[in-house]
C-alpha cells in the first residue's frame, strides 16, 4: 500500500483503483476480501500505525500519501536526472556530472523490488530502470567531456557487456578505450557490435557508431 501510494506522492488515488491494484486477482489459495473497502481501510490503519497517523490522508473517494513528492526517492531521482541533463545541454558538464552522480547514488539495487511482480508497478519499474541506464550514459558523456578516460574503462566495459545491443554504450566504450590508448580494443568493440547487430537484429551500425 505504501509503495502504491508513493507512486503518486501527494496525489489522491481512488479507493477502487487502490483495491484493484492491491488485489488484482484471486486463485484457489487466495480468497478475495469479503469487502475490499473494509480491507483497504484495515491496511490504511496498519500503515498509519507503523509510519505515523498523518502519513495517509483520506479524502472523498480515495487516499493520498501526505508527503512532498520530493521526499520519494524515485521522484527525486527523476528530478535530479532532469537537472543533470539540462546542465549538459547548457554546456556545463561539471554540473551535469555532479547532478547525475547524485541521482544515481540514490539507487540501492533494483527498482521497486518488493512489488516487482505487481501489475501496478510494471510500467513505472521499466521506466525507472530505463531512466537509470540512460542517466548512466549521460553521466559517462559528462565525464568524457571533462577529459576523463582510462578510469571509466571498467565501468564502460561492464555496461557494454550487459547491454550488447545498446549502441550509445558501445560507442562510449570505444571512445573510452581510444582515450586510454587502446585503439585496437576500440576497433574490436566496433567489429563485435557490428556482428551482433547483424546477427540479432539484421541491421547495420548507426552512422554515429
- 15-67: per-residue pLDDT in tens? 989 988 998 764 444 554 667 788 899 999 999 999 999 999 998 889 999 99
Determine whether 195 is exposed, middle or buried from the number of CB atoms within 10 Å of its CB (0-12, 13-18, 19+): exposed
Residue with cell 549538459: 88
The number of beta carbons lying within 10 Å of the beta carbon of residue 42 is 12
pTM, two decimals, is 0.87
* H and E: helices and strands count for the chain: 9, 3
Check whether 137 has a pLDDT greater than 60.
yes
pLDDT tens per residue, range 102-131 = 999 999 999 999 999 999 999 999 999 999
Give the count of beta carbons closer than 10 Å to the beta carbon of residue 93: 22
End-to-end CA distance of the chain: 45
| Residues with Cβ within 8 Å of residue 179, at least 6 apart in sequence | 144, 149, 150
* CA contacts within 13 A on the Cβ side of 116: 9
Q: What is the pLDDT of residues 3-14, one digit of tens each?
A: 999 999 999 999
Pairing of strands 62-65, 56-59: antiparallel
Amino acid at each position: 500500500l505504501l509503495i502504491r501510494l508513493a507512486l503518486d506522492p501527494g496525489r489522491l488515488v481512488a479507493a477502487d483503483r487502490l483495491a484493484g491494484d492491491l488485489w488484482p486477482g484471486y486463485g484457489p489459495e487466495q480468497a478475495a476480501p469479503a469487502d475490499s473497502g473494509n480491507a483497504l481501510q484495515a491496511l490504511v490503519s496498519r500503515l498509519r500505525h507503523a509510519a505515523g497517523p498523518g502519513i495517509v490522508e483520506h479524502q472523498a473517494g480515495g487516499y493520498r500519501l501526505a508527503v512532498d513528492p520530493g521526499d520519494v526517492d524515485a521522484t527525486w531521482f527523476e528530478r535530479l536526472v532532469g537537472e543533470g541533463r539540462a546542465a549538459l545541454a547548457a554546456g556545463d558538464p561539471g554540473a551535469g556530472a555532479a547532478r547525475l552522480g547524485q541521482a544515481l547514488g540514490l539507487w540501492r539495487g533494483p527498482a521497486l523490488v518488493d512489488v516487482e511482480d505487481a501489475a501496478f508497478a510494471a510500467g513505472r519499474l521499466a521506466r525507472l530502470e530505463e531512466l537509470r541506464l540512460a542517466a548512466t550514459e549521460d553521466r559517462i558523456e559528462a565525464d568524457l567531456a571533462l577529459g576523463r578516460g582510462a578510469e571509466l574503462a571498467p565501468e564502460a566495459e561492464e555496461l557494454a557487456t550487459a547491454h550488447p545491443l545498446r549502441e550509445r554504450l558501445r560507442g562510449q566504450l570505444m571512445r573510452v578505450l581510444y582515450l586510454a590508448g587502446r585503439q585496437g580494443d576500440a576497433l574490436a568493440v566496433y567489429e563485435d557490435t557490428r556482428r551482433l547487430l547483424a546477427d540479432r537484429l539484421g541491421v547495420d551500425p548507426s552512422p554515429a557508431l
